[in-house]
Copies of this chain bind each other. A is one copy, B any other.
Amino acid sequence: GYSQLPRSVHGLTGAPEWPAIRAQLPDLKDKRVLDLGCGFGWFSRWAKEHGATSVLGLDLSEKMLSRAKSETHDDAIEYEVSDLEQLALPKTVYDFAYSSLAFHYIKDFNKLVATIFQALVPGAQFTFTIEHPIFMAPTSPAWSNDDEGQRIWPLNHYSVEGERKTDWFAKGVIKHHRTLGTTLNTLITNGFEIRHVQEWAPTREQVSQYPELLEEIDRPMMLLVSAQKR
């Protein structure tokens, strides 16, 4: 199950996109940090270790939070069960918001972004990853080969936004596909300024260490976005 994934066992360093995320993070010293979809709390603890004053980690999974709590020994890190679809936060109190691979489960992204925007102080950064829409869109999201034996990703329904059902670890998990344009425009119309957009691909070094990452070069699986509250 999910807890056996490299990123669950080894934490941040088990996620190949972590170096790219880390390169986009602001200095966390004296920052009040929001970790949306914190899971086992890997980033919450990392943020605290890197200077954050306080961290609020939110997740829907009580099971994940219970492991997060048992592995965290720091009163400045708080964990709370929270459905991001119904998120309510105090206004203008956080200096940085972070989320890793959670927002593609959210139906009402606009509402969530508005809530996050309100919760941040002016100038605060917001950095998140989601599954890339190219990865989410297809009716049959599985590699195949073309007539010349080239690996291809069978893209279709890219502009058909809405539900996608997958059987990843659990049957019938529902994700919400949005085009890249919609994701960015939602940030912009809510007042965020886009600072960086990265369609994550492994580095040469990563591919030579983990050859299975090569397929990520054919179609991006993850999208990394950094934005800033004006």
Contacts and interface: CB of A to CB of B under 8 A. Distances in A.
Given A139-B150, A140-B148, A158 B195 contact: no
Interface in A120-143: 134, 138-140
Contact of A197 (B138, B148, B157, B185): B185
B194 A158 contact: no
Interface in A147-165: 148, 150-160
A146 B155 contact: no
A85 interface: no
A26 to B, nearest CB: 16
Interface stretch (A5-13, A92-100, A214-222): A214-222
Nearest to A139: B150
A67 interface: no
Interface stretch (A54-62, A104-112, A176-184): A176-184
Given A185-B197, A193-B193, A199-B180, A156 B152 contact: yes
B219 A160 contact: no
B188 A157 contact: no
Given A134-B134, A150-B139, A180-B180, A158 B217 contact: yes
Given A185-B196, A197-B184, A154 B156 contact: no
A65 interface: no
Contacts of A180: 180, 197, 199
14 contacts: A140-B148, A140-B152, A144-B146, A150-B154, A152-B154, A152-B155, A153-B155, A155-B218, A157-B218, A159-B217, A159-B220, A181-B197, A185-B198, A188-B194
Interface of A: 134, 138-140, 144, 146, 148, 150-160, 179-181, 184-185, 188, 193-199, 201, 216-220
Given A138-B152, A155-B219, A179-B199, 19 more contacts: A134-B155, A134-B158, A140-B150, A144-B146, A151-B156, A152-B155, A152-B156, A154-B155, A155-B218, A156-B218, A158-B199, A158-B217, A158-B219, A159-B199, A179-B220, A180-B180, A180-B197, A184-B197, A193-B194
Question: Lowest 3 A-B CB distances belong to which pairs?
Answer: A159-B201, A152-B154, A156-B218
